[in-house]
Structure 1
């Protein structure tokens, strides 16, 4: 599904999702296809589950967002140094 479909199915919810297809453009991450992992009433609960999943599976492209946003705005950050 895409972001618009997710928003329509889960209005005014916090969602944890995985980017199944995405690409970069001018320092932004554009997500073309989404897989919903879970929905939440509270952002803190979504972030908590994100942290647990990211810790066990860091290679997955996971995001938390609120469906009130018309468009996803994901800014790419460049990491400096060594990741451990």
Structure 2
């Protein structure tokens, strides 16, 4: 007789580990596609590549925003 092992429901990643798509970042920053890719290309905004897909961790977006706020405050 086999024993039944209950499965643990898959939990969504915590906010700090969530990965965003480029369109999601575009919406959050209210920027166009080219502007977001320019930020990625210049490494102002960190990202990872999964296959052909580019994903931006939410913490990278938060870090980018804080860095820009700090730059504006220093100016």
Instruction: State if a TM-score over 0.5 links the two structures.
Output: no
Larger radius of gyration: 2
More RCO (CA 8 Å, sep 6+): 1
Higher-helix-fraction structure: 2
Where is the strand percentage greater, Structure 1 or Structure 2? 1
